[in-house]
Each structure stands twice: as C-alpha cells, then as structure tokens.
Structure 1
Amino acid sequence: MTEQISILADGVPLSLPAGSSILDVLAQTGSPYVSGSAVCIIKKKDAEVRPTTAFTLKTSGGILTIELKDPSSPSSKIWVENYEKLVGLPLHWGSPDALAFGPFKSSITPVKGMMRCRKNDVLLGAGGFDSADTHLIFCRKEHYAEYGADSDGVFATLIAGRRNLEKITAGTVIESIEPVLEKEDEGDGICTTDLDTVLEDGDTVTTYIEAEMSLSSPHGAENFYALITEGTFTVSSKAKAFCSDDTLIGEPCEYENFEPRSVGAISVRSSGEGRSRVYISTADRASSLVHSVIGHVTKGISLPVFAQAGQKITVDPVPPQILLLGHTLEEARPLLEKLKIDLHVNGYEGEGNVIVRQDPASTIEILGKGEVTVTSVPLSSLIEVTFYYDKAPKSVEFFRHAIELKTHPIGVIPVSMVYDDTFIFKAEKEAERYKEILPENTPGDLVRSGELGITNQSAKRMGYVGVRLADEDLFGPTGEKFSATNIIGKVLTPEKLRGLGDGDVVYVKEILPSGLEKYLAERKENNTGENDAGENTAEDPEA
C-alpha cells in the first residue's frame, strides 16, 4: 500500500501519496492559482501558545473575521477559553439590529441594563441573564439593547466579512473557528514558484489569497481591481508589518475608509509620496489619515506574510469585478442578467458594437444600485495599439496614465487636428503639468506608417500624440522634428483613423506584447488587417 501524507491545502485537508508536489495539490484543489505566482509552504511545528487578537469564523453563509479589543478583558478571556465550543452552533435568532449564534454555556457574569451597540460590534450575551444560555452576538447597525453582556460589554470588532453578515439567514451554522496567526505562530514558512517542490506530511500549502473588498471603499476597490488585472499582486517591497505593490503609484486615488490596519487589511495610500501604493498588512497598525482601507484578506494570509520582494501572489477578489469596457452588449447582457442587474444602453447597439463607458464605474456601486448604464460605439471607433515598453518605457507610462489605460481597459483621447494623412491627439488630462517627457526612442531617419509618436519636452507642444498613415523622413507623427519626438508604439488598425475630424473622440485598446502574435494571426485570418488600398498592414508591428 502506498504511503500517504496529510497536508492542508488552502484550508482543505488532503491525503496524497508520499512524494507529491505542489503541482499535485493544484490538480486536486481547483485553486485559481496564476502561473508564476508564489506558493507558501509552512512546515509543521509545535507552535508556542500565545495570546491572539483575531479569529476567523467560517460559516455556511460566509467568512467572518473578528478582532479582540482587549485580550485581557473578561469577555475576551471567556472567548479564548470557549471559542472551540461554538463550532457547529446555528444562528439562533436574527433581527435588523443584530444576530446571534448559540446557545452555549460560559462563565459570563451578565449585567442588567441597556447598552449602546455600534455597527460591527461583537459581544457575548446571556439570554435571560443565564450564563448557560450564552450567545455570540454580531451588531448589524447602531442601536441600544439589553443583551446580558458582561461588565466589559463589547469585546471584539468585525473587521472582515461585513458583507457576509448581511447575507446570513436562518439555518446558517458556524463550521470552524481559527485564530489568525502571526508570522511567529505559523511555523517556518517559505514561498516558492517551483511547482515541483515535494511536500512533507503536515505541510500547510497556500496557493492564493481571497480579498474581500470593503463596501465603504467603492473607488479604492476599483484601484485594487486595476492593480490585479492579471490576477496577481506583485510584492514590490516587503517589511515586517506589510508588503506593498507599487504598480499604480502616481494614479489618482480617493480617501474613503478610516479604520485600523489590522492583519490582513488591504489599504491604499491616498496622498503624498507613493500615492496609490497598495499595502497588505501583516501586523496590526493604527488607522491612518493617508491610508484608506479598501478590503481585507479573508483567506491565505500566510502568503503576504512570507512572500519576498519580486514575487507575485494570486488574488481571488470578492466580489469579482464587474468590468464591461471592451465587451460587446451581447457579452454583457447574460452576465448582468445572471447577477440580476438592469442594463441601460446609450449609443450604438447594432452589429459590431463595443462598450467604452459604464456608470456607475465601480463594482460595489453597481451591485448596490442593481443597475448600470453603458455607452457603446461601433468597433470602427476603437483603435488597437501596441506599445514599445522596451524602447520608451517612461513615455509609454506617461501616455497610458494620460488616457487612463493604466486603470481601465479602454482609454479615450480626442482628435486635436487632422491634415493630409496625419492625425494629432491631445488627452484631456493635462499630465504634462506634473510629469516629464524626456527624449526617448527618437527616430533616426524614418518614421514608419502607423507608428505612434508623442512630443517630448524639448518642444512647446509637449504631450501631443500623433500618427501618420504614410512613411515620413522629415518630421515626426506630431509634426515636430525628430529630436522632439518619442516613438512609443504602433497603431495596429490605422485604417480606422480615416474619416476622423477635429474634435472627434477615439477609444484606445492596448494589445499587450504577450498577446500580439495571437492578435495578428486572428486579424489575418479574419482579413481585418487590410487598409483601403488592400495592403496588409498588420503582419509586422515593427515594419
């Protein structure tokens, strides 16, 4: 009989043949793991028992995470002594004000009298002032009530799973309760991208984090969604109390939510140096006026705890983003019907449409309102471009920032001027007021048809962008001399520019270098790469 090992994979116990690897775990768990991301392995050890302040309750209605206000308080001590007894307890009662799991027997000393309860407060209450009828009570909103709590009253705060609290109904059961471990408690953890790593008996394997977005931070949540477009959080820097992702530094970000940055809190810096840097807290820190809390890691906290700078972490956001930009109405309708969200359409609804705007812009607001209004245009109004990241990285970053391609799949830019076969654009966001465009990838003796150029700061019209539909050996795409022109990419569908006039609006979609070969093959197959003269312009983006 083959020897078996027992491991815990993303919270699920597994029994595997000895010699199994991370790859075998992924094959069994159905994890949303993104290739190239780090996987955390924690070796089994006899951990030192220490007081902990955060606990995760897994219920049949979703995960709830609470944090003790004072571990030395009477109710906190009773909780630590009794929390394991609550596993299996059902929801006993619920009201618009609060809900309670129980009953269970405790050593609580109930105190009579009304008490003030705030939203997300957690307390132990004795029904009929009988400690044998103790309940774990979650407050849904601010109110006054007599719950028979101990002298310390509220002993904890709900810090994650607040949306789940609103969904808990009769029949909900507590399935498990686990303390949220800090680094010292978790054992010896390593993060690796080698999926052939052999596992040992007792290993705990974490392949992704679950990130629950805060209902109080709809715009911050969208920043986070933009950050994890490829399904991963990049660890740009690492410290004892956090890991951070610098991908969106410099992008606009609102301050929305003031709350403590407890272990697992996801926050974004809203002002000052490093604006829009996103943090995952790995140690408790106080609230900050420049760090808006936008969500919480509700599963897989060991990954940000042990990940190293340069590694990527797979992220599964809750709720998933509702992003319709770049999709057709035919693609959007079934998705929204499934979510029971009403769709209103402004603009073109005929064949070959594409959505370029949605209102509300944020997922949380759409879910809250139950409706969304989209603007759609013909595909002929959407141009595809690819950027020269290797040749002009700073200029590409400037342009993507100016037309909001860093945070949205579709950018928008108005036509400033058209003459002959030259089209000049100017973004509405005047990024040149606070960003530089130093000379970078200036042309030698020729600018190819379709190449995208931006005027650098050696000329007065810094920030203007242009493209020509014919080769040019004297001036750049914006009409400037070559030394004042940075070539940042290539328009893959230049034929769509014909017919544009001053003041028209063009929508821009980026084709990433990793997907360029597939894109060009599909265009060639569909015969969409021909210009008006019948010449194929899409085969070689460098031509």
Structure 2
Amino acid sequence: MLVNGEKLSLPDGATVQSAIDTAEAPYKIGASVGILKKSESVRSESVREYRVKTTKGELRLEIIDHLSASARRWMEDFRQYEGISLRWSSKNAIAFGPFSESLKPERNLTKLDKYDVAFSAGGYNPSNFHLLFSLAEHSADYGAPEDGPFARVVGGKKLLTSFERSDRILEIEPVIEWQESAKHLVTDDTNTILEDGDGLFTFIKVELALESPEGAEFFFGLIKDGFFEVDYESSSFISDNSLKGEICSFENFEARKDGAVWVRTAGYGTGKVFISRDERTASVVHSVIGHIQQGIELIHMAGKGHSIFVKTDPAPINILGMGFKEAEKHLEGLGVELVREGYKEDDANIVKLNPSSTIDILLAKKVIATGAPDSLVIRVELYDELAPKSVDFFRHAVGLTFRPIGTLPVMMIYEDTYLFKAAKSAEKYKEILPENVLVDKTKAFEIGITNQAAKRMGIVGVKTEDDDLFGPTGEKFSSTNIIGKILEPEKFKALTEKDTMYVLESNKEEIE
C-alpha cells in the first residue's frame, strides 16, 4: 500500500484513518482523500512523471520525449540510478553518479534549458555516466548522447542549488496517472476500508513560483482554512471560486502544465483560482502562481464539492499579530532578520510588514516589522453564518481577506457610540444589502455596518451600551447589518479619536 507515495504495511481491514495515523500523513479533519485502486495494466511508456527522492527532499521529473533513446533507457531501468551521490557542481549544472550506460556519448555541444535533465559521460567514457541537472540555460560539451535532455524538473526546483557532496538519490518511483487505473474513490469518510495495493492521497503540496509573490499571498488567502474547495471541475482543470471578484496582479506568463496553479487576473471570473489537469497555453489574463509538487493524483480524482487539504512551499510567514520576540524566534529558523519599527517595545503586536509578501521576505532575508501597543490590537468575532456577505465586505475593507490582522481608523466618538471608516473604499465595487438587520435592540459591543438603505454605506459602528432606538452606527435598525462583536471591551473603550484599531479575528476554537 502507498500513502502519499510512501510504501506502508498495514493489516487487513485497515481504514483510511489508521493509514493516516501510521504514516503520520498530512491531513486535516473534513478533507477529502483520494484512493487509487491498483492496476496491473500500466506500462512504463504511459508514465509521464517520476518522483526522485533524495537526502534533501523530493524532485519531480517529467519525461520530454518518450521515444528518445535516453528517455527509454531511463524508463527501462530507472532504479539503477538509486543510491548515486552528487559528484560535481558548477554554476550551470550539478551531476549525480557515476554509473555505466549503454548509451553512446557524443563530442558535441548540448543545448540545455534551465531545469533540463540529461545523461552526461565524463571523458566520453560509457563507464563514467552521470545524471545531469541544468541550473541555467546554457550550452556545453558534457559527453551527452545525441538526443540531449530527456526530462525536466517540474517539482522541487529549489533543491537543486542546495545539494552537497554528501547528498544522494535514495529512491525513484513512477507517478501513475489516475486515468490508468480502473477505479478510484474520493471520500471524507476516514472509516473507509482500504485494500491491498491501494494508493491513498491525503493532501497536495504546492510549490509557489518565486516570480509570483503577490499571487502567492492571494493563494494563502484562498487556503487560510487549509482547504482548496472544488467549486467547478472539467476535464482540463478544477477551480476554487471563493475569491471571485477579488483583484490579483498579473505576474507570471508561462504555459499551464498539468498541475499548474493559476489565477484569473482580468475579465469575467477575476479572482478564481485554477489547477490544471492537462496542458494549456500561456494566457495574458491567467497568472501562474505555482505548481503541484506532490499529490497530483488527488487533483485528477477530485470533483465538485470536495475539499482538498493544501500545504505550500514555502509556508506563509504568519507573524502579523505576534510580539517581536516570538516573531524573531520564528524568523531566525528561516534565516530572516527582523527590524523593529513603530512601537518597538517587547509588548508590541506586529501590525505591518515591509516587504509584505512571504516570497519577497525570504528573498530579501530581512523584514521591517511595524509594532503597535497591545491596547490597540483588539480581537473580534465575526458572524459568518448570520451575515456572510456583510462580513465578506468588512474583511475586504479592513484587510482581513488576505491577512490575519486588519486596520480600522477611528472616525468619531460621541457618547457611547464609536464610528469607524476603513481606508479601503470597498463600497465602490461591493454591495451591502440588508442582512442580519437589527430587530429589537442594539447589544453593547456588537459590530454594525451601514447597508445600502443608509445615507452613508459602509460605516462601521459599535455602542458600549445597549440601545433600544438606534443601531451601532447611530442609524435606524433597518439600515444596519450586525456582523460581529468585540471580544475585548475594556481595550475597546480606551480608544480615542486619534487611534487606529487593529482588528484581530479570532477563530471558532479560540472563542469556544
């Protein structure tokens, strides 16, 4: 049995849950898992991709031309390359070996693109072949066979520059596409019984493109609860429409290969995120933000209504809302320097980052973090079930859609009423229809937002005392949608008109 590609021995009658527990597989309650039934009909010629497990992590190779001599040698005997170590490295390439091959070395320049894979023979000696990985577009005489590169790296690309002489290839496995199997099953029932030979897939891992820092943040916002929700499926892709209507910058123009993750940046469907199931050409309105590094089988099996658990590489740098010391400890492990700005004391909460994206922070190895006194950082509960559209507007306006902490400047305070106006004018392109409007009275510390029936839509208000006559914004009941409540009333009452409230959304687990 295989669990996320790893071999595992389980007793008869084992369930999905026991397999997850035994393998310590990445999984989140509520996720849909894929079960691929064993098939004896798969031929090596039908395999397009291979997992190459190394001491540093996993690479994923895609065969370029199945008919080339080099590709056929690889497909016929790929396991002979298990155990070979890194032999040499340069700015243009790295090579694992040596080993003997029946291929004929040629005394010619070989043209290689970045991430190409080819055989190379040192000294043109068939007993001194190596597996060569190209780090840059270049041409050189490597004693390669006439057909040149036979594969390309499509996953784990960042590993290529991290290998050392002590590293080696541990195991190589073909990636069997789900179409080759007679049966597959997708379920969220972890009591499902597994059979001998089944392949279980519990998550996907997305390698985010360095060329798409803003796209990566958009994706983090999409999966902040851990799931890619399949709202639509076709033979070509699956999509999550949760952020439809949100704007994402176009950053990365490239062909959308099987497993490419991309976002629509203009036109109808802006904000939808897709994962390819086949080859698609590049598009000026679809920005590629990453590629499936692991779990492509689950992408091909999943259908509408399924929830796919997602991990990313890199993981998001989530230090907003943290104190400086906690953040410094977290960033130290990533090799990132933190520079304090604003309120710099140890009791500060981080409310802003520069650069703001995970990828840019990792590339710069430095981030300027702006702190605010803890008294200005106030936890709230939002009523997603009672007022989903109004809460969506609020999150968008204050910046909670893509960040764990939002910004809400105080506009006015009079008597027991506090009014706020978000800096982002979301009402220009988002509606606030009446939803969860007041009926009997305003409760102290509940958060209201004026709807389209009010003179000024999008004003946020909170009262510190119950009120039988007016809503939290001072408007009549029918003009006010109730979207949540303040969880730290004493902090809230200390706000002044000069302050900015930093909104920290609490999850259900914290509230309960």
State if a TM-score over 0.5 links the two structures. Answer: yes
Opposite residue 213 of structure 1, the aligned amino acid is L
**Structure 1 residues 228-307: aligned runs within 5 Å:** 228-307=223-302
Is residue 68 from structure 1 mapped to residue 63 from structure 2 by the alignment? yes
Which stretch has the larger CA shift, 160-169 or 493-502? Answer: 493-502
Matches within 5 A, 1:10-29: 10-29=4-23
The aligned residue for residue 38 of structure 2 is 44
Give distance in 2, aligned partners of 1:442 and 1:184.
50
1:78-110 superposed Cα distances (whole Å, 9 cap, x missing partner): 433343322222222111110112233444344
Distance (Å, rounded) in 2 between the aligned partners of 1:186 and 1:104: 34
* TM-score normalised according to structure 2 size: 0.93
In structure 1, the residue matched to 2:490 is 495
Q: Is it true that 1:35 corresponds to 2:29 in the alignment?
A: yes
Write the mapping of 1:113-124 to structure 2, written as runs, cut at 5 A.
113-124=108-119
Contact 1:243 1:281 in 2 (8 A): yes
- Are 2:121 and 2:130, in contact at CA under 8 Å, matched by a contact in 1? yes
Would you say 1:344 and 2:339 are equivalent positions? Answer: yes
After the TM superposition, which of the residue ranges 462-471 and 288-297 deviates more from structure 2? 288-297
Q: Displacement of 1:443 after TM fit? A: 1.6
SS at match of 1:488: strand
- In 2, Cα distance between equivalents of 1:399 and 1:320: 26
- Mapping 1:26-425, distance limit 5 Å: 26-49=20-43, 50-350=45-345, 352-425=347-420
CA distance in 2, matches of 1:349, 1:413: 21
CA contact (8 A) 1:458 1:484 kept: yes
Q: Aligned to 1:149, what secondary structure does the other structure show?
A: coil
Secondary structure of the 2:17 match is helix
**Farther off after superposition, 57-66 or 497-506:** 497-506
1:146 Cα deviation (Å)? Answer: 1.4
Structure 1 position 115, deviation (Å): 4.2
The alpha carbon displacement at 1:503 in A equals 4.7
* Whole-angstrom CA distance in 1 between matches of 2:230 and 2:15: 24
For the 8 Å contact 1:163–1:215, the answer to whether it is kept is no
Per-residue CA shift, 1:299-326, capped at 9, x if unaligned? Answer: 2222222123222222232222211012
Residue identity in the other structure for 2:56: G
Structure 1: give runs of 5+ residues left out of the alignment.
1-6, 518-543
The 8 Å contact of residues 82 and 106 in structure 1, kept in 2 or not, is answered as no
Structure 2 CA distance for aligned equivalents of residues 199 and 68 of structure 1: 31
How far, CA to CA, are the matches of 2:182 and 2:375 in structure 1?
57
> Letter of the aligned partner of 1:485 in structure 2?
T
- Aligned residue for 1:258, secondary structure, equals coil
Distance 2:77 2:380 in 1: 60
Tell me the alpha carbon deviations over residues 142-161 of structure 1, each in whole angstroms, 9 at most, x when there is no partner: 33311233344333332221
Q: Which amino acid aligns with 2:133?
A: F
Give the Cα separation in 2 of the matches to 1:288 and 1:96.
Answer: 32
1:332 positional shift: 1.6
Match of 1:476 in 2: 471
What letter corresponds to residue 243 of structure 2 in structure 1? L
Partner of residue 3, structure 1? none
Q: Which moved more, 1:91-100 or 1:180-189?
A: 180-189
| Structure 1 residue runs of 4 or more that deviate by more than 6 Å after TM superposition | none
| Native 8 Å contact 2:39 2:180 kept in 1 | no
Which whole-Å CA distance do the structure 1 matches of 2:299 and 2:272 have between them?
15
Does the 8 A contact of 1:47 with 1:187 survive in 2? no
Tell me how far apart the structure 2 counterparts of residues 391 and 165 of structure 1 sit (CA, whole Å).
49
Deviation at 1:219, TM superposition (A): 2.1
1:187 CA drift (Å):
4.4
What's the offset of the Cα at 1:469?
A: 1.3
Structure 1 residue 516: Cα displacement: 2.0
SS in 2 for 1:85: helix
Aligned to 1:538: none
Gaps of 5+ in 2: none
Partner AA of 1:104 in structure 2: F
Q: 1:107 to 1:291 in 2, by over 3 A?
A: farther
Distance (Å, rounded) in 2 between the aligned partners of 1:353 and 1:298: 38
Residues 376 and 495 in structure 2, CA contact (< 8 A), matched pair in contact too? no
Q: Could you tell me how far 1:419 is from its partner in structure 2? A: 1.7
Contact residue 241 and residue 282 of structure 1 kept, 8 A: yes
| Range with bigger deviation, 490-499 or 432-441 | 490-499
- Report the CA distance shift for 1:259/1:56 in structure 2 as closer, same or farther (over 3 A): farther
Q: CA–CA distance in 2 between the matches of 1:115 and 1:13?
A: 37
- CA offset digits 1:164-190 (Å, max 9, x no partner): 111112122122223333221244211
Is residue 448–residue 460 contact of structure 2 (8 Å, CA) maintained in 1?
yes
CA distance in 1, matches of 2:370, 2:422: 19
Q: Helix, strand or coil: the match of 2:149?
A: strand
SS for the counterpart of 1:454 is strand
- Which secondary structure state, in structure 2, belongs to the residue aligned with residue 24 of structure 1? helix
Letter in 1 for 2:199: T
Kindly provide the CA deviation profile for residues 181-206 of structure 1, in whole angstroms up to 9, marking residues without a partner as x. 32212442111222222222212222
Query: 8 Å contact 1:108–1:126 — kept in the other structure?
Result: no
**Distance (Å, rounded) in 1 between the aligned partners of 2:149 and 2:479:** 65
Residue 529 of structure 1 is matched in structure 2 by none
Counterpart code for 1:27: D
Partner of 1:530: none
Q: Structure 1 residue 74: deviation in Å?
A: 4.1
Aligned length: 511
Task: Using the TM superposition, give the Cα deviation of residue 132 of structure 1 relative to its aligned residue in structure 2, in angstroms.
Answer: 4.1
Q: Return the alpha-carbon distance in structure 1 between the equivalents of residues 56 and 181 of structure 2.
A: 27
Q: CA RMSD in A?
A: 2.2
Inter-partner Cα distance in structure 2 for 1:445 and 1:64: 61
Task: State the TM-score, normalized to the length of structure 1.
Answer: 0.88
d(CA) in 2 for partners of 1:201, 1:182: 19
CA distance, structure 2, for counterparts of residue 257 and residue 74 of structure 1: 34
